[in-house]
Chains A and B, each alone.
Chain A
Amino acid sequence: MIMFKFKMNPIAKKTNIANFYIIFRSLTQNYVKETVNAHEVEHHSNMKDYWWNNNGPLNALHSFNPLRVSFIINGLTNMKKIETKNIGTRQSLENIKILDVGCGGGVLTEALARLDGHVTGIDPSKELITIANDHSMFLRNKNIKYLNESIEEHVISNPESYDAIVTSEVLEHVSNKYGFLTNCVDCLKPGGSLFITTPNRTMFSWLSVKVIGETFNFIPKGTHEWEKFICPHELQSILEINCKCDTISINGLSYNPFTNRWSWTDSTDISYAIHAVKST
């Protein structure tokens, strides 16, 4: 493998450094077949005790819900997926099949189910799926299903079967982004929407997510590896070139830890949300 990398070098030198970096990353990442990293799963499984604690260490994740749910609903409304009578009601996701990849304890999954979506949540962590399942008891008569499997296992039995796929704050924990995203898109019906939120890989995000966030406990320590973050243009190129998707929108996100509130911004420097549609 080292030899191979050396052989790549002369080619890379002809282009610029940034390009080399992308090629380097994609090459190294392709060697990891699995989209699931054992130590990431273990780290997140350890959060099971306070996952659903509103005021606990994950309160930023809870307060993120209004924004990401409205992002999904607005995206689906724009794609004319939501029936007119359901717009602006509690039934806005009626009859829409949604897959939440990396659902964790089900914070977002339940919100989508409460809006009458047919939601399936998958996560490689057995512990988190268990607490998600336990917690979903509080929803009466809602279509919610949790499976303890990875996306590459799920795609085998569910190709082209979802109207929307949501993977929120997950991509930054995945090494093999290419494999992960192609599997996600394979689960989508043609014309279906893919919603992703993830932090950017910039100096700002390193400062805010790693340094400030983890030092002051806005985010549990060791949750993020900055090196694995992905920039919007990288993500966009994978989606458009490899996955045959069209990017509909990329929106910047920011979080105020003092008011515990998320908001949209023009800058994607810290974190962003992307909406892409699988071409028909």
Chain B
Amino acid sequence: MTLSTALIFSIVFIIFFIFIMGTIAERMLKISAKNSGQNPKQYGILPNDLSSIFGRNISKPSYIPSNEDFFSFDKGFDIKLMGEASTEHKIESVHSATYAIKPKDFIGMMPIPKVVVEEGDSIKSGDILFYDKSRPEIKYAAPISGEMVRIQRGEKRSINEVVMLADKDIEYRQYDLPDLNSVNRVDLVTFLLDSGAWPFIRQRPFDIVADFNVVPKSIFVTTFDSAPLAPGFNLTVQGKETEFQKGLQVLAKLTNGDVHLGMDARGEKPADAFMNASGVVKHWFKGQHPAGNVGIHIHHVDPINPGETVWHLDVHGVLVLGTLFEKGIFDTERVVAITGYEIAKPRFVRAHQGICLEKLVMEVQFQEERNTTDKEGKPVNISRKAVRLISGDPLTGKEITSTGYLGFFDDQITTVEEGDYYELFGWLLPRKGHPTQNRTFPGGFFPSTVYKADTQQNGEHRAFVVSGEYESVLPMDIYPQYLLRAIQAYDFEKMEGLGILELGEEDVALCEYVCTSKHPVQKTLREGLNMLMEQG
């Protein structure tokens, strides 16, 4: 027997052996699942169909009408974390004693906005709190009614929070509503700017509150969020179908182009409000995170070229516009997901923008007392931050204190354990699992495993070594690594050429997550965007 025949035989034998072992293990798993009263279909070690072996599942769900666009991405990565909000619990309406609007939620705003109310003034929902000194036309409104109590200042007298004391029952500001059918665009924009609803409209490029002087070539609304632990918008829109449709009508007035709806083709059929939305162009997206990001939708449907502007809103923003025109009130109520492993009952609640989160996360131990010894061996008591509270999702959210407030655009709060531990040979044999697509970890082969999150940086900052890593999680025709290099080199022309105008921080957050060199991708991108903004 020659070497080559022996080799072929041994390979065939090994494949056959693996196949038999796999089949037996699969059968036994199903039998034991059946015996313990579980659905055996959910258990198994073998892939169910050919396409999942190759990690792709591009089949089109049946609920998509054949005349609508369908995009399927195989790039991306779903970060599966414990503590997902469950719909089993009833969705309660929650209120807090104080509410706050944080000027720092708005990218590009001057650090000291002009606050137009004084301490002690009584406010109605929709009354103007402050405006940006560089763009005084854009007014920022109060989400509830009550009394203005204080301005919380930070470094160099910059304003961190404008805090209000809430009434029990919300009083709403009276609006002089224009008639949607006859109003011209200029009057509508003026009304929206003055109403306080304008900041919900954001724009690409730069991912800032929209510039009212520009007529956008199109407006995008994403109806789903693929970020880790993020709530779907299906809940928030329930019972507000007419408001949603009204909001879309308002948007249609603001652009000469189309209003595009980014629809979720990943699983269950989306809510009726989205399915039945009219006057819009629907596009279906399937794939892992960031498939739900509006930046991805814009890139594939109507990409931004230099000099062009696209506006975008989330579903909450559309609802605020819709409620304003349907009922004449400024209502920022939304469904907020309270998520995280440390939360006893991860759930959804109905809350207004800027709610104080203290009562919602009461059961979480944010500080931990620990007895250790100091250098001389004396026992000391150390207080350590054990859990981090984030307004938003764990990739793009902002860290807040346990008595902090929900962010302007956020519909999610997340707790994450602080990962300030040393781990022996942790870079080689980690005992703590982290979600990863990287195949040097066993978890890379089992993408459906759910992990407990922590904030360990998992390594030190290094120069770029690995290539192709960012591209594998960004379903866009963009080379992020070369873009970052162009930003670091202050090469404006190349930045624009490589598509920086199409990107927002949320789109590259996943690049930062998977980065082997632990590069601060979002920060670098924002620096580049700021440079371009200053250039005009």
A and B part of one assembly: no
> Which residues of A are in contact with B by a Cβ distance under 8 Å?
none
